[in-house]
Every structure is written in C-alpha cells, then in structure tokens.
Amino acid sequence: MTSSFDFGPLFPAGLPAPSARWTGLAKYSFVGGNNDSEQVPLDELIEAASLALQREGRSLATYGLAHGPQGYVPLREFLVTKLKRDAGISCTVDDLMIVSGSLQALDLVNNTLLARGDTVIVEQETYQGSLDRLARLGVNAVGVPLDEHGMRMDVLAAALAELKNRGIRPKYIYTIPTVQNPTGTIMPETRRAELLRLSAEYGVPVFEDDCYSDLVWSGQRPPAIYAMSQHGGVIHIGSFSKSIAPALRVGFIVAPWDAMSRMLALKTDAGSGALEQMVLGTYCVQHFASHVPTLTKALRGKLETLMEALNEQFGTAAEFEEPKGGIFLWLKLPDQVDTLKLHKAALAAGVAINPGPEWSTNKAYAGSRLRMCFGSPSHQQIREGVAVLAEVCRKEFGVPARSANVEKRA
C-alpha cells in the first residue's frame, strides 16, 4: 500500500508529537521501572498459569471472567489480605478495582477529578509519568519540596493557605509516601498524620501512590495514608509491576465508592487482562509473601553495587542519600553538570539515565540531578555503565576529576 493519503490536516490541535520508531534499550539502561530478570518467579508463575487455566480457563469466554468491572475476585481477595497485613488498610473487595497497571490508575483518578486549568499539589520531585499526564491535561502542578522524610508539611501548609487565599482549591495532593520516586524516602507516620490533618482542613483529597511500597529494605513500612484516614478523602493505588513483573500490567485502586463509582464509569476497556489477573491471583496467595523479601534482597545488592561504582567513579562529585528501598537512586552531580545534556551524550555512549528536570517541578533545582534505576542491569552492567557515564560526564563537563576515586578513598 502506497501511503499517499495525508492524515496531517485531520489531527486535532494539541496532539502530542509523533513517536519515533523504537530502537531498543540502551546497552546500559538505568531507566524505566524494569526489574531484576533473575528474580522473576518463573516456575511458580508457570504452575500458577496451569492451575488457574485448568480451574477456570473456560470463563475466559466471558468478559472479565464474569467477575464484574472491578476485576478477578480472588486477586481482590488476596489484596484485601495483603493490604491489611502490610499497609494496615481495612477494605473489602468492593473497595478495590483491578486496573491495567498503576498508569491506568493515574488516568482514571485524573479523569475523575481534573479539568483543564485545575491545580494539584505534587511532591517537587516526582514520577515523570504523573507530571507528563498533568501537563497534557493542562493542570497546574504545584511542587512541594521534600526532605529525608518525604514531602515537607510546613511548605505544604503554606502552599495550601496561599492557594486558598487565591481562591484555589487543589483537586488533590499527590504523594508517593513509601519509597518516594525518585528520592527513595519514606514518610514517617507522624508526617502522614499531619498530611491528613491538612487534607481535612482544606478539603483536598490525598492521592496516595504506593507502587513501590513492597520494596522496603527493612521490610517495615508505616501504615498507608489510606489506612490512617478518618475522613475517607484518600485514593490509594498500587501495582504488581515492582513486586512481580512490570510487563504484567496489573495494578489496583482502593477508593471510597463515591470516587470508585465515577472511575468505574470511565473504565470503558471491558476489563483488564484476565489471564494476568488469574495467574497473579493464583500465584500471590501462595508465594507473594516469601517472594518479596528475596526480591528485595537482590535489589538491595544491586543498590550496593551502584553506590560502590558511583563512589569509585565519581567520588565526591556524586552526592546521594541511600534510598530506603525501591529500584532507583536519586543523585546530585556538581552544579555545572546539566543532566539533560548529560542524558543525550550518555545515550550516544550507550548509557540511559533519567535527567532530573523530567522528574521535578523545579527545573533549576533538578538541573544537575538524575535518577538511576538499578533493578534491571546486572551487577557487571552497573559497574561498566557507571564507568562509561563518568567518562562521558568528565568529557562533557570536566567532572568527576580523573582522580575522583582516589580522593574518595583518601
């Protein structure tokens, strides 16, 4: 078929730029929420797939396995138990909706609450996908800076007061409180309580994104903000992408029916993939609780390798706080390093990183910062990749000095 037809004049205003053709992953890929392939629980997933299909595969002939638009009931039942045990959340299967990854959860929450011109509050450094979505929706994202305990409540209080003075009621406060993306912090319980107090005072719901909360080094996490809420103004989302595998597109939403019933009306996809829900529902009941510590230990080992490599290659030129869990490290390079430029130069050398400005509402603050994901590359790739990155950084910006590792060791 010759493509003489010109679609151009038919595209509406504001359509995003066309995608470039896919050219594969970088040789040293420190981007994306990819996980450790060695930790995919393969035998157990195969067993779960066989079991689930044997038991109820015929119900695949019916949309959503006839379990309704909120998803496969046994998976929701598992989540009720898991969320109670891990996050302190008391909910029923009716409070839960299974979605196609937590990205669909973001879309459903956004489409339920946001209109062009609205304002939301986010953590100053936050998930790029959330910032991109807000920008596309024409929503103003007010960033609240973080410290080692997550979003700063003094600044949040001031921001809420200031917005109120201007007659603006933000639509939500978006937070990733448990292994914050990208900073890796965990918000302590007292601060969560303060957040809820402010949420109630200003009538602004909390949008709690807990997608990394299974990956905490200590195995201990504070109760979810959803669990602590007295007023019910919290929407909680989570995912199996980080705990099992990201290519399985299975996430979930916990929300009061008031909001849930609106999100259900917007979920017009005839259900999320049932096979993945069946397999996870079957796998998780037996294996989730023992799988997670194994995975976390492996990830922690990769973080050690990354931190060692950074210390060796960058020395004092790379500053970072050790994350409390997760799959990424947020680091600061010397001020003269523009990580947007570094990103381009590194990619040309086979190293993919996330430049800070894409993960922050404060482009200046994040200008010399970057996010490095360590879940997917092997220990050797981490060491080699960091060495290549240091070489590129030195060539482009003069740092780290060649003697960085010597300095550090001194």
Amino acid at 221: R
CB of 270 to a copy of itself, least distance (A): 6
Of 156-164, 269-277, 361-369, 397-405, the window that binds a copy of itself (rule: CB under 8 A) is 269-277
Smallest separation (angstroms) from a copy of itself to the CB of 332: 27
Contacts of 274 (CB under 8 A, 6+ apart): 59, 60, 64, 65, 72
Answer for which of 113, 141, 176, 309 binds a copy of itself (CB under 8 A) is 113
Pick the stretch among 141-149, 259-267, 282-290, 316-324 that binds a copy of itself (CB under 8 A): 259-267
Burial per residue of 153-176, b for 16 or more beta-carbon CB atoms within 10 angstroms, e otherwise: bebbbebbeebeeeeeebbbbbbb
Q: Would you state the structure tokens that stand for residue 406, as one six-digit string?
A: 């010597």
CA–CA distance, 87 with 85 (Å, rounded to integer): 6
Query: Closer to a copy of itself at the Cβ: 40 or 155?
Result: 40
Q: What is the largest CA-CA distance in the chain?
A: 67
Give the span between the Cα atoms of 409 and 405, in whole angstroms. 6
Question: Does the protein bind a copy of itself through residue 207 (CB under 8 A)?
Answer: no
Six-digit token pair at 94? 């009716």
Coil vs helix vs strand at 349:
coil
From the list 142-150, 246-254, 340-348, 379-387, the region that binds a copy of itself by CB under 8 A is 246-254
Residue 389 is a binding residue for a copy of itself (CB under 8 A): no
Closest CA to 257 of 73, 91, 26, 40: 91
- The least CB distance from residue 181 to a copy of itself, in Å, is 14
Q: Does 276 bind a copy of itself (CB under 8 A)?
A: yes
Q: How far is the CB of 241 from a copy of itself (least distance, A)?
A: 8
Of these, 130, 229, 243, 360, which contacts a copy of itself (CB under 8 A)?
Answer: 229
Cα distances from 60 to residues 55, 63, 281, in angstroms, run 11, 7, 15
Q: How far apart are the first and last CA of the chain?
A: 66
**Binding a copy of itself by CB under 8 A: which of 177, 222, 271, 315?**
271
Residue 179 sits in the site that holds a copy of itself (CB under 8 A) = no
H or E stretch at 254: strand 251-254
Minimum Å distance from CB 264 to a copy of itself? 4
Binds a copy of itself by CB under 8 A, chosen from 28, 30, 36, 313 = 36
Q: Which of 265, 289, 348, 406 binds a copy of itself (CB under 8 A)?
A: 265
- Which is nearer to a copy of itself, 16 or 165 (by Cβ)? 16
Is 259 or 366 the residue whose CB approaches a copy of itself more closely? 259
Which of 28, 64, 141, 338: binder of a copy of itself (CB under 8 A)? 64
Contact predicate 196/226, CB 8 Å? no
Alpha-carbon dihedral 179, 182, 184, 189, rounded to 10 degrees: -50
| 238: contact with a copy of itself by CB under 8 A | no
Query: What 3-state DSSP class applies to 331?
Result: strand
Bond from prior residue into 170 cis (ω within 30 degrees of 0): no
**Residue number, 158 or 266, with CB nearest to a copy of itself:** 266
CB of 335 to a copy of itself, least distance (A): 33
- Length of the chain (residues): 410
- Using CB under 8 A, count the residues that bind a copy of itself: 109
Q: Which residues of 367-402 are buried (b: 16+ CB within 10 A; e: fewer)?
A: bbbbbbbbbbbeeebbbbbbebbbbbbbebbebbee
Q: Which of 35, 126, 360, 381 binds a copy of itself (CB under 8 A)?
A: 35
The reply on whether position 302 binds a copy of itself by CB under 8 A is: no
402 with 394: CB under 8 angstroms? yes
Residue 220 or 268: which CB sits closer to a copy of itself? 268
List, in sequence order, the alpha helices (H) in 57-127.
73-87, 101-113
Q: Is residue 300 a contact residue for a copy of itself (CB under 8 A)?
A: no
Identify the residue among 26, 28, 30, 65 touching a copy of itself (CB under 8 A): 65
Window 316 to 355, contacts with a copy of itself (CB under 8 A): none
Closest approach, Cβ 308 to a copy of itself, in A, equals 23
62 binds a copy of itself (CB under 8 A): yes
Binding span for a copy of itself by CB under 8 A among 153-161, 267-275, 310-318, 337-345: 267-275
Q: Which of 165, 218, 220, 268 is close enough to bind a copy of itself by CB under 8 A?
A: 268
